[in-house]
């Protein structure tokens, strides 16, 4: 009976994580189009929520990576470990959302899980190669976004220089509606799968399912939780991502959104989890640098990078503390 309650707790916490991820990362999908006034904020949020849901339903490859590559075997951990990892990630996401600092939900989830597993079972339970693959994808993706964003913006400058600025901005405003939609779709296709993977891992660990295949109901619930969270928005982070890194015009917003969508969806097709926050911020930095290197507010960028670097170790500590606290509470109850 206790195992059943623990599995239910994992599902509830994972859906809470998805919900928080949704409003935490709304900024990533719509910050550029809102800051350039291409789309009204209310319309952008509703559209993003719908496209997040659709994107989350198309694939489970990333979910299998999350569920299968963090631990050596599902039999080596229990639901309490997973609950602790989720608690660490959720606390960090709420903290960074409160102060308006863009932070990676992906890093938070990986860090929380690693800390909980390491403290509870030990190093042998961690899948070193799998974790290395996940971390490399999280590190390489924003670097790729900066480089490709720079190239994309340079190409657009060469194409647009023969046209009047007013014509370019008007056209880019219309195109940004499409690029923002692609961004929201790709965000759902990658981010919602992380909670799917955690829930599936818990079901496998608890003996509810026999293989690491994501049940349809889990896909639907995670997609719905992220879409609902997205509909609430995250205005503090929207202001940071949309305006403090680089003062964007419609052409910059279009380039950043298109670039981010391509990088994120490519990762989804490769079954690799990436941080939407990192990719979008990297795209904006690359696009801004193509305009003029000094146009990018690198001091803000450094603060964001510092938060990214801190996320995994901080959430790992939080995951370990959560496991110690929950174990103590359960020992008192038992």
Reported as a single tens digit per residue, the pLDDT across 175-200 is 888 888 898 899 889 888 889 999 99
At residue 179, what are phi and psi to the nearest 5 degrees? Answer: -65, -35
Is residue 333 assigned to a domain? no
- Band (pLDDT 50/70/90 cuts) for residue 238 is low
Tally of domains in the chain: 1
Which residues make Cβ contacts (< 8 Å) with residue 82, sequence separation at least 6?
Answer: 10, 113, 116, 198, 201, 202, 205
pLDDT of the residue at 202: 92
Closest Cα to residue 277, out of 50, 26, 60? 26
Percent of the chain at pLDDT exceeding 70: 88
Helices 2-35 & 276-291, crossing angle to 10 degrees? 20
Give the least confident one: 145-149, 222-226, 247-251: 247-251
Distance CA 212, CA 328 (A): 31
Say whether pLDDT at 97 is over 90.
no
Residue 152 included in any domain: yes
Residue 180 within any structural domain of the chain = yes
Query: Does 268 reside within a domain?
Result: yes
Token pair recorded at residue 63: 């979910």
Contacts with 202 (C-beta within 8 Å, 6 or more apart), sequence order: 7, 10, 11, 14, 79, 82
Domain-located, residue 281? yes
Q: How confident is the model at residue 267 (pLDDT cuts 50, 70, 90)?
A: very high
Evaluate whether residue 241 is within a structural domain.
yes
CA distance 103 to 8: 27
| Number of residues in the chain | 334
- Interior CA angle at 121 toward 4 and 85, to 5°? 60
What is the C-alpha to C-alpha distance for residues 253 and 251, in angstroms, rounded to an integer? 5
What the block records as the tokens of 287 is 């696009």
Take residue 323 and report the two structure tokens written for it: 């496991």
d(CA 125, CA 283): 36
Q: Is the pLDDT of residue 242 over 50?
A: no
What pLDDT does 131 receive? 93
In terms of residue numbers, what domain contains 72?
2-328
Residue 221 has pLDDT above 50, yes or no: yes
Domain assignment of residue 334, yes or no: no
**51 lies in some domain:** yes
């Amino acid at each position: 009976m206790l195992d059943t309650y623990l599995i239910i707790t994992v599902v509830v916490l994972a859906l809470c994580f998805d919900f928080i991820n949704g409003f935490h990362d709304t900024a990533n999908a719509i910050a550029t189009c809102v800051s350039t006034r291409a789309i009204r904020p209310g319309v952008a949020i509703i559209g993003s929520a719908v496209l997040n849901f659709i994107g989350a339903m198309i694939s489970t490859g990333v979910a299998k990576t999350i569920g299968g590559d963090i631990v050596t075997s599902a039999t080596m951990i229990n639901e309490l470990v997973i609950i602790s990892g989720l608690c660490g990630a959720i606390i960090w996401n709420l903290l960074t959302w409160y102060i308006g600092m863009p932070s990676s939900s992906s890093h938070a989830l990986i860090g929380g899980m690693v800390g909980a597993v390491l403290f509870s079972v030990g190093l042998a339970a961690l899948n070193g190669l799998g974790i290395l693959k996940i971390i490399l994808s999280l590190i390489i993706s924003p670097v790729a976004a900066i480089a490709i964003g720079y190239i994309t913006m340079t190409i657009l400058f060469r194409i647009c220089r023969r046209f009047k600025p007013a014509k370019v901005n008007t056209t880019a405003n219309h195109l940004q509606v499409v690029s923002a939609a692609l961004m929201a779709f790709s965000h759902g296709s990658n981010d919602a799968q992380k909670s799917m993977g955690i829930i599936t891992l818990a079901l496998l660990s608890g003996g509810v399912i026999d293989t690491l295949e994501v049940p349809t109901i889990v896909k639907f619930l995670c997609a719905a939780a992220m879409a609902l969270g997205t509909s609430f928005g995250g205005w503090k982070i929207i202001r940071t991502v949309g305006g403090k890194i680089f003062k964007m015009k419609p052409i910059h917003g279009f380039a950043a959104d298109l670039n981010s969508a391509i990088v994120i969806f490519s990762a989804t097709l490769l079954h690799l989890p990436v941080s939407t926050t990192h990719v979008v911020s990297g795209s904006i930095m690359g696009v801004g640098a193509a305009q003029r290197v000094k146009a990018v507010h690198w001091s803000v960028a450094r603060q964001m990078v510092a938060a990214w670097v801190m996320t995994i170790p901080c959430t790992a500590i939080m995951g370990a503390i959560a496991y110690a606290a929950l174990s103590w509470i359960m020992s008192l109850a038992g």
